[in-house]
Amino acid sequence: MMEITYKDFRQFMRLLTKETQLWTEMWVDNTLIHSERVDGFLDFGQNEHPIVCQLGGSSPETLAKAAKIVESWGYDEINLNCGCPSDRVAGHGDFGASLMLKPELVRDCMRGIREAAALPVTVKCRLGVDDHDSPEFTAAFVRTVAEAGVRHFIIHARKCLLCGLSPDQNRRIPPLMYDRVFRLCLEFPDLEFTLNGGVNSLEEVESILGSAPPNLVGVMIGRAAYNNPCLLADADRRLYGAEANPESARSRHALLTAYCEYLDREHPASSTDSTGAGAIQGALKPVLGVFHGSPGNKIMRQGINAFSHDKGIRAKGPAAVLRRVMEALEADPKARACLHEPLQRPPSDGASVSGDASVFGDAAEGASAEAEASLVPRPPAEAPAELEAEEAALGPAAVERGPMADALATAAVAAH
């Protein structure tokens, strides 16, 4: 997700879940090719593996050059965005969702990426665009792009309207049609699919993974991972078979304390007052949803805004701002109880779905593009460890099917 799944957000996600797959923001191919330095775009921590870099573009030649750059940075996978409905993306440069109208071009772009980089490649798309949204249209798109050797498609289970709806409306108004994604799974049994759109809880992820065709290998969670990140606090145990999520996911207090330690390292106190409130708020944006729907939400959001504009506190860095907010939360009895309550529910005797969770961003936010994230369960044990995936975010997260999920699906599964 643009302006969401940047490094700070991905590092915050890793405090909640070690198993999920993380995605970058969408980077335009020419931006990577012509920038003097790309570390501001492509830098990531080693703890972020598995991590996917999403590219935007419509030229096989420039996408191939960008893919070589991405590969040199050590990414685990490359995704091409064919789902962003923003007119600033789809209408200028001819990429994003408008590419669904040119499946042969997408095929050639993916062929160029595969020839340039020895990495797994995926395509993120919608069910259709404008009036081109029939099951036959979607199947023809998948069939054509698969000719380039693409084996995995992340499908946002609704179409988009390039004219008449904003990116935000395109995330809400066109109806979700999960059955259409299931139909693709049955029509293309040799391909893998991840479902995206409208999933807001681990319970929904488990339900989808437990009832869909076995080649639905993931469920993407986008906005929900950003708006309510604590929903991932139990993902590793419930979806991947881990004993527990990281210790930092034990409670909101443990989570925020660990993030303060990260901020101390990555965003140390400024020696001057040159750091503006915007930079502080950017570093703290990942924590805004920690108290989603809970006592303390107002204190958290208002506190970050107020302390970020206090020059004295701001000069000490974002960690100092967050610690002051935590003090305010401790002073309120209801917020304090929520701050320290366990985030992981006790294990039950019932069966659980095993797998990996991941957070990724694949499109611009707001007026610039759609943003999504996805959860994906861990691949089978014999798969390479590098294929581990991240969520979210937000913006999102993806959970890939593990062995137990495969069994459940056989008996009965990516934010623009």
Q: Extract the tokens encoding 31.
A: 């931006």
Beta bridge partners of 80: 55, 123
Q: Out of 53, 84, 109, 160, pick the active-site residue.
A: 84
Distance in angstroms (rounded) separating the CA atoms of residues 42 and 97: 23
Sign of the Cα torsion 363, 366, 368, 369 reads positive
Distance, CA of 387 to CA of 358 (rounded, Å): 11
The two beta strands, 355-358 and 216-220, are: unpaired
403-415: burial string, b at 16+ Cβ within 10 Å, e else: ebbbbbbeeebbb
CA of 272: how far to CAs of 55, 168, 276, 281, in Å? 37, 38, 11, 17
Is 84 labeled as catalytic in the residue annotation? yes
CB burial class (10 A; 0-12, 13-18, 19+) of residue 50?
A: buried
DSSP for 348-393, written as a single string: -SS----EEEEB---S--TTT-----EE-PPPPTTS-GGG-B-B--
CA dist list (Å): 168 to 1, 97, 215, 224, 231: 13, 14, 30, 14, 22
Contact 58, 93 (CB under 8 A): yes
Exposed, middle or buried, 131 (CB in 10 Å: 0-12/13-18/19+)?
exposed
**d(Cα 212, Cα 408) in Å, to the nearest integer?**
9
Closest to 11 measured CA to CA, from 2, 24, 28: 24
Angle at 333 (CA atoms; ends 288, 247), nearest 5 degrees:
55
- Taking alpha carbons only, the member of 198, 309, 346, 327 closest to residue 260 is 327
Output helix, strand, coil percentages for the chain, rounded to the nearest 5. 45, 15, 40
Is the distance from CB of 334 to CB of 295 less than 8 angstroms? Answer: yes
Catalytic residues: 84
